[in-house]
Amino acid sequence: MNTRTSFPAYLISSTTAGVGAAFTTLTDADLDPGDVTVRVQYASVNFKDALAATGKGRIIRRFPCVGGIDASGVVESSSAQHFKPGDSVIVHSHGFGVSHHGGYAGRARVPAAWVNRLPSGMSALEAITLGVAGYTASLGIDLMELNGLSPTKGKVLVNGATGGVASVSIDLLAQRGYHVVAVTGKPAEADYLRMLGASEVIASADLPAGTKPLEPALWQGAVDSLGGAPLAALTRSMQKDGVIASIGNAAGLDFNGSVMPFILRGVRLIGVNSDNEPELRDRIWKRLGSDLRPRHLAQIAKVIPFAQLPQAIEAIVNGKARGRTVIDVGSASS
């Protein structure tokens, strides 16, 4: 390994002034230990990345840390038998960009369990457009269907609808024949949401605001990126045996609800977490390459140069982004 190889990186540090991030130059010698070294082509900006880089969430577990909880690229070297130089891969979840240098750098070195080979015919750009967001959306749908979700049973609500997890969820659910109701704080994006496959678009402010433990039963399923009060409201308006995938916390961490929807309507609240063992990761990535392959990745992705990462982080932390913001790391590193 050439330890003098240098590359640009976006490093998150903690000082007495607080948590902040800045561009720097690293070398291979700065990378964390791991089985697989990847030349990063693309990374993305997830809500968690924005909380991490701005210090608005206590995400980073080891300072300094290169940010970026997902990346796609090409294997440069590997001591793991099942990866070889030249393999196109995606890296995400576990400690990546949290307690181990992440994807906002020309190179990443990681444990093999954090790496997946790209499904056949999927490009590095398509893979990072999915990234953690698409992986988690697919995992959520997989788990919801295992818990009874079916296109014949009623409407499926997707909130935070213009976000990354939600955009992929809408695309996948619509493709599978579900009647998708997109709920958004940006009603001006209704055309985008309909293009992805939403049958209805509702402004968050127009959702029924009842506070009884059991409100009219409207939804057989819900993909929740928000947590907080919106998640508690969802539990009240689920149909009998309805299924909620709890994926995110964009609106808050606290959840103040009643058990009545669970014990009187059999509502199922399923937690979805992307830190999975290789067997499950392989299964979900195979599905992302086959029966859970989104149709609108090109429209969901916004590709920007590495230098514009700080502005993209500001946009997402302020709820102003749409779809998936992809960082072209490779062209800055070559």
Ligand X SMILES: NC(=O)c1ccc[n+]([C@@H]2O[C@H](COP(=O)([O-])OP(=O)(O)OC[C@H]3O[C@@H](n4cnc5c(N)ncnc54)[C@H](OP(=O)(O)O)[C@@H]3O)[C@@H](O)[C@H]2O)c1
Residue 253 region by backbone torsions, left for phi larger than 0, else alpha for psi between -120 and 50, else beta: alpha
Q: Is there binding between residue 163 and ligand X (CB under 6 A)?
A: yes
Cβ–Cβ < 8 Å for 182, 170: yes
| Distance (Å, whole) CA 80 – CA 182 | 42
Q: Is there binding between residue 316 and ligand X (CB under 6 A)?
A: yes
Binding segment for ligand X (CB under 6 A), chosen from 99-107, 115-123, 302-310, 314-322, is: 314-322
Among 136, 138, 169, 239, binds ligand X (CB under 6 A): 136
Mask of contacts with ligand X, 246-285, x by CB under 6 A? -xxxxx--------------------xxx-----------
Q: Is there binding between residue 319 and ligand X (CB under 6 A)?
A: yes
Cβ–Cβ < 8 Å for 124, 101: no
The distance of closest approach from Cβ of residue 51 to ligand X in the complex, given in angstroms and rounded to an integer, is 7
Binding segment for ligand X (CB under 6 A), chosen from 24-32, 78-86, 283-291, 316-324, is: 316-324
Q: Pick the closer one to ligand X by CB: 106 or 323.
A: 323
> By C-alpha distance, which of 272, 207, 268 is closest to 235?
268
Give the count of residues interacting with ligand X (CB under 6 A).
29
| Distance (Å, whole) CA 10 – CA 38 | 16
Burial 61-100 (b: 16+ CB within 10 A, else e): eeebbbbbbbbbbebbebeeeebeeebbbbbbbbbbbbeb
Residue with tokens 């698409």: 134
The distance of closest approach from Cβ of residue 64 to ligand X in the complex, given in angstroms and rounded to an integer, is 22
Among 90, 128, 141, 165, binds ligand X (CB under 6 A): 165
| Distance (Å, whole) CA 255 – CA 168 | 25
Mask of contacts with ligand X, 173-192, x by CB under 6 A? -----------xxx------
Q: Which residue is nearest to ligand X (CB)?
A: 163
Q: Is there binding between residue 226 and ligand X (CB under 6 A)?
A: yes
Q: Pick the closer one to ligand X by CB: 40 or 133.
A: 133
DSSP-assigned states of every residue in 159-212: ESTTSHHHHHHHHHHHHTT-EEEEEES-GGGHHHHHHHT-SEEEEGGGS----S
Binding segment for ligand X (CB under 6 A), chosen from 80-88, 236-244, 277-285, 313-321, is: 313-321
Among 225, 235, 237, 239, binds ligand X (CB under 6 A): 225
| Distance (Å, whole) CA 51 – CA 68 | 11
The distance of closest approach from Cβ of residue 249 to ligand X in the complex, given in angstroms and rounded to an integer, is 4
Beta strand 200-203 with 179-184: parallel, antiparallel or unpaired? Answer: parallel
Binding segment for ligand X (CB under 6 A), chosen from 1-9, 104-112, 128-136, 285-293, is: 128-136
Cβ–Cβ < 8 Å for 137, 169: yes
The distance of closest approach from Cβ of residue 33 to ligand X in the complex, given in angstroms and rounded to an integer, is 24
Q: Is there binding between residue 164 and ligand X (CB under 6 A)?
A: yes
SS3 for 297? Answer: helix
| Binding interface with ligand X (CB under 6 A) | 46-48, 132-133, 136, 160-165, 184-186, 204, 225-226, 247-251, 272-274, 316, 319, 321
